[in-house]
Chain A
């Protein structure tokens, strides 16, 4: 069987779960697709998962209310071993990429990370993923009784839910004690569309001048376009913007239809998070900035003049 670990947030099945289901359906394996839902009070999530899988296993307990790498990897490895899963698909989210290596070690399995394609050729899994700060596409293969795979967000078309619900089963899990004690958290939620799901992303860098400038220019343009807001590491480090908006090597990777970079010079680490965007637009005062080397459209000029003029033009 193929096991997919269905992520969810705020009582809803995540987009990644639909993408995992789609990746799983593309593999020629017998035994169908089993979805595993872990959490506390996840009946509605499990019901949604039942429309994209052939079988749903539900681990629903207070101990699973909050994610933990050791707890999650133990649960997933147990279910994979008991069900003799041949492929375990996990979302390429921060948490997915954090606990999946532990699952691979527990199962003595190879790990394919953040794949954007996945094929089965005679029992061998073939995949592609980015390397060298997303500048290179590497083709890899793994052959083993079980292979653990994390799937890149947005790489697979989401599966369309069926009309008949698959059967659900509760599972008993042997969970370890949490050792990383979370003592506080700052959730960063905005009313805007999620960065990695947006068709248009407007991102700002130091070149916008001030936190107020960021709000006026970057948020202003994003609101006008119905776009998500992104930021550079420098802007996040300076405390102007929350980490959840960071695009780049240590932040999110996005590939929207249009990426509009405002006052961003284009450090390699930032480019690695957005260089696969279909159309890149740059507005920056320095015509020699690296961002212009990968831009489709752009203006060399003062962002404080150009962006308000664009907002005005869009309002027409």
Chain B
């Protein structure tokens, strides 16, 4: 079986966001593999460690620097990488066209994708890729197990969680809590440098953005920061309640 894990390189969540020329400035900031995608790589590795015979292929579409995120996936244990090199920023629906073509060409049976990417706040890539392939999808999974060619797991629905079963092929989207991604060890980092990353061009896939971005703004709400010392619990509590009632007017 071949498992694809979709990898996106994003701004580290701990980094502050800066805007330049109507776009979020990424140069000079720490960029990482999206943690949502780490869950996918980790889960693929765990399925293999639990007995599934699988080749794990990490796929990324992005500029030259996105190779670093692919190397992280390879250092975690993915077998090889595919990097569609482009400076064009594709929206999720357009990107899914590339992902689906790669999945077909690779004969993949299972695809992992982040539940919500940390740069777009988008949840669309996994579902759109599944639709293009004519596959079912299991989103926001919190537990997963492979029994033969059936995936058995749990995921979050509108209210509450559901247990599910789905026969492969399928697309699975991840979320925090699915697993604890491993840190690449030094030997594995060394080994990953020799692993293949196949380079391709976006032109080969004929995908173009469907949504135009006109600009971004950081709206920072000025906060009052009226912070009290709580050594005198009763006094501080009384003062806070008074402020919430009279100054903020948010409680009755």
Q: In the complex, what distance in Å separates the CA atom of A112 from the CA atom of B17?
A: 22
**Chain A-chain B contacts (Cβ-Cβ < 8 Å), number:** 265
Asked if B250 is an interface residue, CB under 8 A from chain A, the answer is yes
Q: Which residues of chain A have C-beta atoms less than 8 A from B167's C-beta?
A: 179
Q: In the complex, what distance in Å separates the CA atom of A38 from the CA atom of B221?
A: 40
B230–A297 touching, CB < 8 Å: no
- Known A-B contacts A140-B212, A184-B163; the reply to A297 vs B240 at CB < 8 A is yes
Smallest CB separation, B198 vs chain A (Å): 26
Q: In the complex, what distance in Å separates the CA atom of A67 from the CA atom of B159?
A: 12
Among A41-49, A160-168, A206-214, A308-316, the stretch that binds chain B is: A308-316
Q: In the complex, what distance in Å separates the CA atom of A225 from the CA atom of B241?
A: 11
Q: Which residues of chain B have C-beta atoms less than 8 A from A200's C-beta?
A: 250-251
Q: Which residue of A lies closest to B219 (CB)?
A: A137
B213–A113 touching, CB < 8 Å: no
A136–B136 touching, CB < 8 Å: no
A139–B215 touching, CB < 8 Å: yes
Q: Is the interface of B mostly helix, strand, loop or mixed?
A: mixed
B176–A132 touching, CB < 8 Å: no
Among B42-50, B66-74, B125-133, B199-207, the stretch that binds chain A is: B125-133
Among B57-65, B75-83, B112-120, the stretch that binds chain A is: B112-120
Q: In the complex, what distance in Å separates the CA atom of A125 from the CA atom of B243?
A: 43
Smallest CB separation, A244 vs chain B (Å): 6
Asked if A175 is an interface residue, CB under 8 A from chain B, the answer is no
Q: Which residues of chain A have C-beta atoms less than 8 A from B248's C-beta?
A: 258, 279, 296-297
Q: Which residues of chain A have C-beta atoms less than 8 A from B105's C-beta?
A: none
Which residues of B in the span 93-129 have a Cβ within 8 Å of any Cβ on A?
93, 96, 115-116, 118-128
> Which of the listed residues A101, A139, A183, A249 has the most CB atoms from chain B within 10 Å of its own CB?
A101
Q: In the complex, what distance in Å separates the CA atom of A302 from the CA atom of B248?
A: 23
A100–B124 touching, CB < 8 Å: yes
B17–A179 touching, CB < 8 Å: no
Q: In the complex, what distance in Å separates the CA atom of A200 from the CA atom of B128?
A: 36
A180–B136 touching, CB < 8 Å: yes
Smallest CB separation, B21 vs chain A (Å): 14
Q: In the complex, what distance in Å separates the CA atom of A289 from the CA atom of B248?
A: 23
Q: Which residues of chain B have C-beta atoms less than 8 A from A280's C-beta?
A: 223
- Known A-B contacts A105-B96, A298-B228; the reply to A129 vs B121 at CB < 8 A is yes
Smallest CB separation, A182 vs chain B (Å): 5
B240–A301 touching, CB < 8 Å: no
> Which of the listed residues B128, B139, B211, B240 has the most CB atoms from chain A within 10 Å of its own CB?
B211
B140–A111 touching, CB < 8 Å: no
Smallest CB separation, A273 vs chain B (Å): 11
